[in-house]
Structure 1
C-alpha cells in the first residue's frame, strides 16, 4: 500500500502524540497551580518529532519552512507544528482535548485555555487562544511575538489557505475564533487526495477531464505548437517565480484565448493541458455567474477566483464573449454597470496567479483590453481536407470501418466538418451498426449519418 494512502497513520499521528505530551505537561502545571516553566525552554525540551518524507504532510511542512528566513528562532517552527496539530486533531483525534474539557467543567483555567463549547457538541473545539496558552502561557511578550509572526494574513499557514480563524462576534477578540482547517488541506492531509470542490451556487464551476491523449487532438501544427507553450509554462512556472530576476518582471499568472468555431477542439485542448500537468480544469458555468442584478455578477465571479486563488487549478471560461465582451459607449445606467463588470473581470484575470483560458467563437467579440494581456491567442480553425481525412480515419476503425472508403474520402473532401461533427457522425454509425448487427459500417448507414449531420447545418448532401 502506498504511503499516501495512510496519511493519518504515516504522517499525522506522530504530531498528535507529540501535542498530547505538551497538553499533558501544561495541564499538570495548571492543575497544580505551578509557575510556568520558562516557555522557550519548555518548547525546546518538547521539540517536534521528524516526519516521514514523501507524504503530503511532510511536503506542507517543507513549504512552510521554505517560506521563512533562515534566522527565525526555533520556537517558531515548534509553534507552527503545534498549531497545525491542534487544527488537525479536531478532525482526526478529538480525544486530544479531553483534558481541556475536564478543566473547563471544573472551572479551572476557563479564561486561559480558550476553546469553544458548542450547544450541539459535548467536546472541545480549539481556538487561537488554546494555541497561545500552550505556546506562551502567561508570558505576554512571547504571546505578542507569536501573534505578530503567525496569526496574520502574511504567514504561510494563512496565506496559503491551510487554516483560518472562525469569525466571532464583534465584541470578542478574534483569537476566540476556532482553528479551521480548509477543505483542500483536509483532503490532502487526512484523505490523501486533492480536493475537488463540488458544483454549487457558491462555486459555479465543474471539473472537466478527458480519456483522450494529445494524439487524439487533430489540429494544425501552429495550433499544436502554441498549445505546447502553455504546457511548458505549467512545467516551469514555479522555477520562474523562484527566480528573482524573472518574478520582478512578469506576473505570476498566464492568460490564453482559444478562438474558433464550435467543435474544433477548444474544450478538449483545455482538458488535455490539465491532464498533462496533472492539475484540475474547472469550466465556469456562465449561466450561474451572469446576473441581471447589479453587483451579483461580480460577486459570483469573486467566489470563483477566491476559491481558485493560490491553488494549482486551471479556470476555463467557455463561450467567454458572453462575459468578456467589448465594452460599449456609456449612454445608460445599464451600460455603465456592464462596463464595470468587464473592468472587474479584467482586474481579476490580470491578478490571478494561475492559468486562465478563455474560449470564444470569434476573436473579434473579445474586448481589446483583454486581448492585449493574453500571453497566447490560439486559433482553432475548421479542419482542412487533410485533417478531416485524419479525423474520419481515426474514428472509423476496426469493426466500425466504413465499407466504402472512397465515399468517406469524398465526404471529407467536399464538406467542411468539424471534429465534433465528425464524431457525431461516428456515434450514429456505431449505434446503427450495433443495432443491425453489421460487421462494418455500411454505405447506407454512413450516408444517413452524414445527411443527418449536414441537415443540422442547413445543408444537403
Structure 2
C-alpha cells in the first residue's frame, strides 16, 4: 500500500472509532442530565454505559487507548477534550442557563473560550458522579498526576487563572494528539519565538554513515534506547531506578558528521529531529534564556522527538567564579540547564567542537559521550568514492587512493571539494571531473586552516617578541 492510501485508511479508521466514541459520550451526557433533573431513564448508573470495544481496531485512537490501558474515567476525559474540535454542538446542552438564577449551571462548570465551550474537571466530576465527592477526588487526582503516561501527556492543562486543584482548567487536547487522533498526521511545529527550533532531515540512510566503530557502537546503544526504552521503564519496572530520557554528547572537529548523524539517527527510528536555534534561545535579559529553553523542552516533552543543540558550549558553558552580578546569573543559567536537561523525558543530543568548554557537571548527565574524529584514510576513500554523482565521470589521471592518503580532510570538506569540482565540470559543459578542479577544490578547503595557523604564528611572535 502506498503512503497516501495508507494515510487515508488510517484516517478512515480514526473517523469510524471516533464516531462511536462520541456517540458513547453523548449517551453519558444525556443520561447524567436525566438523572440530575429526575427525568425518566432506565439507566441508574453512568458506569453501566459501556464504552465501545476498540481492542481489535487499528486506528491511532484505538491503539493509544489500548496501549495506555485507559479506564472508563480517563477515556471519557479524552473524548470530552476532543469534542470542541470534532463535534462542538454535543456540548451545547451543558452551555445553557438556569432559568431560576439566569446564570450558567454551576455544576456543569464549563469554560467558554474563542467562541467554543470546553469542559473542565468539574464537568467530568458531575458527569461521572453528580455530587459524589469520591468521584470528584478521583478526577482531581488524575488531573494532577505527573505520570508520564497520564493525562499530562495528552492534555494542555494550563489555566490562565490560579487553579490549585486543576478542576477549573479547560480540558484541551494538545495539537499533536489532535492531529494524530484525526488525520493521523504527525505534529511538526515551525520555527518561531514560541518554539525556537527547526526540523532537520537527511536524504542519507543508516547504512550510508561512514564512521569508525568507536562511533557506530554507541550510536547503536542510542538506537536501542529509543526502540526499547519505554519497555525497559514501564514493562521491566525501571521507572524508579533510571532517570527519564536519554542524553548524548557528540564532540570532535568541525565537519566530522555530528549534525548529519543526529538527523540520520532520527530517520532510522522514525523520530523527528529538531535543531535548537541558539540565537533565539540566548538572551541578554535576566531569566529570558531559561524561559526560552523551557518552551523548547515543554513543547518536546512526551513526544518522539530528538532535540539537537549544536555548538552547545555557547549555552552549556563552564561556570565561573562569581565576581559580579552577570557571572552570578550566568551560573544560575547553567544550574537551571543542568536540572532541566536531566528531567527531560525525551532524547537530547548536544554537539560541540570544544568539549573542554562544557561545564564538568554536564558529563555526569550524559548516557553517551561520543568522539567524532577526522576520518581515517580508508574512511576518506569511501567518502570520495560515494560522494560523486553517478552522472559524472572521473578523469583517468585522478587517483582517489592517493588523494585520500595525502589530504587529511573532514567529511564536510570532502563534500565541499566534490561540489566545487562538479560545478566546474557543469560550467564547462562536461560530465568529466578534472584533476585540476579537484586539486583546486582541496586547496581552497585548506586555505582557512592555513590562515588560522598563520594567525596563531603571528600572535605567538607578538607574545615572545
Q: Note whether the superposition's TM-score is higher than 0.5.
A: yes
CA gap 1:104/1:198 in 2 versus in 1, 3 angstroms: farther
Residue 55 (structure 1) aligns with: 59
Judge conservation of contact 1:6–1:192 (CA < 8 Å) in 2.
Answer: no
Equivalent-residue separation in structure 2 for 1:310 and 1:404 (angstroms): 55
Map 1:88-99 to 2 at 5 A: 88-99=82-93
Q: Residue 29 of structure 2: which of 18, 23, 27 is its match?
A: 23
Residue 288 (structure 1) aligns with: 280
Q: Residue 442 of structure 1: which of 434, 441, 448 is its match?
A: 434
TM-score (norm 1): 0.87
Equivalent-residue separation in structure 2 for 1:196 and 1:109 (angstroms): 38
CA gap 1:300/1:215 in 2 versus in 1, 3 angstroms: same
Judge conservation of contact 2:374–2:409 (CA < 8 Å) in 1.
Answer: yes
Residue 422 (structure 2) aligns with: 430
Equivalent-residue separation in structure 1 for 2:15 and 2:201 (angstroms): 31
- How far 1:416 moved relative to its partner? 1.5
Map 1:280-319 to 2 at 5 A: 280-319=272-311
Equivalent-residue separation in structure 2 for 1:157 and 1:409 (angstroms): 54
- How far 1:101 moved relative to its partner? 4.3
Residue 34 (structure 1) aligns with: 38
Residue 73 (structure 1) aligns with: none
SS of the equivalent of 2:204 reads: coil
Residue 78 (structure 1) aligns with: 72
CA gap 1:404/1:372 in 2 versus in 1, 3 angstroms: farther
Equivalent-residue separation in structure 1 for 2:76 and 2:238 (angstroms): 36
CA gap 1:405/1:180 in 2 versus in 1, 3 angstroms: farther
Map 1:49-448 to 2 at 5 A: 49-51=52-54, 53-65=57-69, 77-101=71-95, 110-118=105-113, 121=115, 124-137=117-130, 139-154=131-146, 159-165=151-157, 167=159, 169-170=161-162, 175-242=167-234, 246-404=238-396, 406-448=398-440
2:48 matched to 1:45?
A: yes
Judge conservation of contact 1:168–1:174 (CA < 8 Å) in 2.
Answer: no
- How far 1:339 moved relative to its partner? 1.5
- How far 1:212 moved relative to its partner? 0.1
Equivalent-residue separation in structure 1 for 2:347 and 2:335 (angstroms): 19
What is the root-mean-square deviation in Å for CA atoms of aligned residues?
A: 2.9
How many residue pairs align between the two structures?
Answer: 444
Judge conservation of contact 2:120–2:171 (CA < 8 Å) in 1.
Answer: yes
- How far 1:16 moved relative to its partner? 0.6
- How far 1:434 moved relative to its partner? 2.4
CA gap 1:359/1:207 in 2 versus in 1, 3 angstroms: same
SS of the equivalent of 1:301 reads: helix
SS of the equivalent of 2:58 reads: coil
